[in-house]
Amino acid sequence: MSRQIVLDTETTGLSAEGGDRIIEIGCVELVGRKLTGSNKHFYLNPGRDSHEDALKVHGISNEFLRDKPKFAAVADELLDYLQDAEIIIHNAQFDVGFLNKELELIGRPRFNEFVGSVTDTLAMAKEMFPGKRNSLNALCDRLGVDNSTRTLHGALLDAELLADVYINLTRGQDALLMDLDPGDNAGIVATPMDLRSFDLPVLLANEQEATAHEDVLKQLDKSSDGKTVWRSSVPVAVPFMA
């Protein structure tokens, strides 16, 4: 079965190239599109303070991170866990950019060399819902994912929410059967329905409806200077069908 890892990070700021670092990584595993419970979560000492704006987003204090491991200390564990999996990230360019910088600082290859592929749910959402807000919160609201516990950003919680969002984004019409074993449908044959077996009633327009319809036709005829097609043809009575 395919193995997917939904990943999210929190950082000290917005610019990896400008010196900002990762402070939290959350990973949630899906196998066969189902949660396995085999997750990974790290708090990291970034070696610098978070920007004030970043602190308002994630709420992880600089003091809390002082005794946490550096990225180098968890890199092997993280990369072994991610090895060859499809990585699902919301706004992948941001997170992968930070991961690449962390890997560069410890002399390791770029992130894409360790994983099977990277799927960006933000790009997916923009294609599915063009012109709409496609933040994680907006997608949770749109897709019916409960995000009531998300008062601040947190990498593991956001990864769990994104896993639910991703399943909803990619569910498709076959979702009604997603929990069934292939054998559950064995021997089931769809029988075509012959609509000729039904006695469908025919309801004719009453006098009031016919008059209203004629008034509309007159208005259209007037606005087109008498050039409407139906005025040049023999009128045909069309019954209303119920």
- Does residue 58 contact residue 153 with C-beta atoms inside 8 Å? yes
CA atoms lying within 13 Å on the CB side of residue 104: 10
The span from the first CA to the last CA of the chain, in angstroms, equals: 49
The count of other CB atoms within 10 Å of the CB of residue 76 is: 10
Strand partners, 240: 203
DSSP SS3 for 55: helix
**Would you tell me the crossing angle of helices 92-105 and 71-82 to the nearest 10 degrees?**
120
Ramachandran region, residue 33 (left: φ > 0; alpha: ψ -120 to 50; beta: rest): left
Catalytic annotation, residues: 153
